[in-house]
A and B are shown apart, each in its own frame.
Chain A
Amino acid sequence: MVSEPAHSLITVERLTRHYRMGPQIVHALDDVSVTVRPGEFVAVMGPSGSGKSTFMNLLGCLDRPDSGRYWLDGQEVAGLSSDALAAVRNRSIGFVFQSFNLLPRQSALDNVMLPMVYAGVSHAQRIERALAALDAVGLLERAGHRPTQLSGGQQQRVAIARALVNDPLLLLADEPTGALDTATSLEIIGLFQRLNRRGITIVLVTHEPEVARFASRVLHFRDGRLIDDLSQDAEVAA
């Protein structure tokens, strides 16, 4: 067994995940090994069914591999209990979804405070940190608005603030611009780039090459395998 290399944030080794669909076994992820260093901005690409979503779910500790190993920031997470995985998701990972997944009846501020509810943060600190996170995404003045009173781009920025509020090591974004128009997509990508320059590691799933070109590295998946791993000069969005 290879030990976990130093100075990496993510190391996965021979990660495999398969599902049984009737009599067939589907290899959603087949023997994938990859290392991501702190501060990288990685785009994960591939057609649907390529295994990129399965890969993201495993990175996000929402799913467990059938075999293989996964170290996040030096900690082997594959064997952790369900509660310990919840704690990892809470403290070390921020999720951004295609459909934002904001609670519709809660204000932007309440939505951003939600991860801190599960982190045992005091109420006063929750407000302070949530306001800081909203400020970081440029939505401080909309803190009291509900999601329905915000545009799609603004909703996604609230979701990003929510992902950032517990100071995670890793931001996992699953098609974050999939529901947005081109101009707004650029805005959001620009925000990701600014956050990345401030040090946060980003792994972003997309099927759009126009989005992937803003990343510093692109992983290509097909049929559950990692087929290409390219570093590139990222285009600057804004």
Chain B
Amino acid sequence: MTAWDALRAALDSLRANPLRSALTMLGIVIGVAAVIAMVAVGAGAREQVLRQIASLGTNLIMVGQGSIVRGGVKLGAGTASSLTEDDALAVLSEIPGVVVTAPSVRWGLQIVAGNQNWGTVLFGITPDYMDARDWSIAAGHGLSDVDVAQANKVVVLGQTVVRNLFGGGDPIGEPVRVFSTPLTVVGVLAEKGQNTQGQDQDDVIFVPLSTAKRNIPGMAKSNPRFIHTMVVKMRDGADMADAQAQIRDLLRQRHRLIPGQDDDFWMRDLSEVSATRDASSRALSFLLAAVAAVSLLVGGIGIMNIMLVSVTERTREIGLRLAIGARRRDILVQFLIESTTLSLIGAAVGVALGIGTAMGVAELAGWPTLIQIDSVVLAVVVSGLIGVFFGLYPARRAARLNPIEALRHE
């Protein structure tokens, strides 16, 4: 008996009971569709998170002002005005692998344009900040080193700020007022969207670092060189943990901290965020795999059940086939091919349903989905194996029938 003969016999037998065959496949169909759809949704979500993380930059280290301790009371991050522009310069020149250090100050305030006003966050920056945080300019131009050196009264607006102050209008060249000082809009930032915490990254304005310090009342009162944070950008492939350790040592030394004393600054590596995200999405994938495995298992048991019924129903046919020259192996193969055909047709329907569901979810719910070819291949292969595994017992039972008794079977 050739494989083609066995396949034809299998299809004939499945056609004999179309409803029963369809119901038997259902477990596999649902299992496979679930695998493909869920993996697609999971991969889409992960892709989105990875994109967001990439927009933050994975080779960045954020260093910020720490808390001061007065009599055991920690006053909170940013209360120690310990970090300075000189620290940023020292990190750049003394730590190997540092590409850029971008010092900045930040301040929440109201910005006014004409009769409109909007509460936003001001960043006093140097041009390096744009590079370190992957900001680009959508219109006009960015801040220059000259703007920083001369404390020019210029500002670059985020998209959200533009929308709220100017509606649809062009803000370039328009005056805005911040901390009662008029600034000229020279550029508009390209849109970044939400960050991983859901915060609107476009609700910002950038001014030169020197302009911010000079014009925000009381900001630079104790130390004109002070900054709130600096972004340290490492070259690609740099060892982030090692770099952090070196920066810590350097800053402790510069701030004259004695051993045992707490850091007066904080430090965060954005690759930690991405690792956490990755781990949680991996856990989600395991969960999905477990759900899928259970439904495929149930599908396999359904196949075994129906194949046992089929063997009993077709006992006489098996007896006849044995009498006219089928070897036991031929009977075994015939029933194995039948169960595998059942599971593979179920898998094919499941693939179509899964892809349809993934596309439907993308369309209707607006979730990003990404159909993974591996998940399709894996689901089909596993279904085939399930057909063989759960078909084996019924097929062996068929192959072991005594032809004389089988022919007498009613």
Contacts and interface: CB of A to CB of B under 8 A. Distances in A.
B1 A101 contact: no
Given A86-B327, A105-B12, A63 B322 contact: no
Given A117-B5, A118-B330, A89 B317 contact: no
Nearest to A166: B325
Nearest to A101: B320
Contacts of B46: none
A83 B404 contact: no
A153 B247 CA distance: 99
Contacts of B326: 86, 118
A115 B324 contact: yes
A115 to B, nearest CB: 4
B321 A62 contact: no
Contacts of B317: 103
Contacts of B330: 118
Contacts of A162: 324
Indicate the member of B316, B329, B407 with the most A CB atoms within 10 Å. Answer: B407
Nearest to A81: B327
Contacts of B95: none
B403 A62 contact: yes
A201 interface: no
Given A82-B327, A90-B324, A118-B327, 8 more contacts: A62-B322, A62-B404, A86-B322, A86-B328, A105-B12, A106-B12, A118-B324, A162-B324
A119 interface: yes
A80 to B, nearest CB: 12
Interface string B306-329: 000000000011011111111111
Given A106-B12, A117-B1, A118-B1, A89 B324 contact: yes
B73 interface: no
Contacts of A234: none
Contacts of A114: 321, 324
Interface of B: 1-2, 5, 12, 15-16, 316-317, 319-330, 403-404, 407
Interface string A73-100: 0000000001100110111000101000
9 contacts: A63-B404, A82-B328, A86-B325, A95-B324, A97-B320, A101-B320, A105-B12, A119-B325, A120-B2
Given A63-B404, A101-B407, A105-B12, A118 B320 contact: no
B321 A57 contact: no
A202 B321 CA distance: 21
Interface residues of A, number: 25
A83 B323 CA distance: 12
B382 to A, nearest CB: 31
Contacts of A82: 327-328
B405 to A, nearest CB: 10
A91 B407 contact: no
A23 B316 CA distance: 30
B66 to A, nearest CB: 82
A60 interface: yes
Nearest to A122: B2
Contacts of A89: 322-325
B338 to A, nearest CB: 14
B2 to A, nearest CB: 8
A115 B330 CA distance: 12
A171 B190 CA distance: 90
Contacts of A60: 323
A103 B326 CA distance: 15
B373 to A, nearest CB: 36
A162 B12 CA distance: 19
A137 B330 CA distance: 29
B5 to A, nearest CB: 5
Top 9 nearest A-B pairs by Cβ distance? A90-B325, A118-B325, A86-B327, A115-B324, A101-B320, A89-B325, A83-B327, A117-B5, A62-B403
B348 to A, nearest CB: 24
A173 B403 CA distance: 16
Contacts of A95: 323-324
Contacts of A90: 324-325
Interface string A24-63: 0000000000000000000000000000000001001011
A57 B16 CA distance: 31
A57 B1 contact: no
Contacts of A120: 2
Given A62-B403, A117-B1, A101 B316 contact: yes
A90 B323 CA distance: 8
Contacts of B323: 60, 62, 89, 95
Nearest to B320: A101
A124 B5 CA distance: 14
Contacts of B404: 57, 62-63
Contacts of A97: 320, 407
Contacts of A86: 322, 325-328
B13 to A, nearest CB: 8
A82 B5 CA distance: 22
A29 to B, nearest CB: 13
A120 B327 CA distance: 12
A166 B325 CA distance: 10
Contacts of A57: 404
A87 B403 contact: no
Nearest to B329: A83
A51 B12 CA distance: 38
Nearest to B334: A117
Contacts of A87: 325, 327
A119 B325 CA distance: 8
Nearest to B328: A82
Interface in A154-185: 162, 166
A84 B49 CA distance: 65
Contacts of B328: 82-83, 86
B1 to A, nearest CB: 5
Nearest to A102: B320
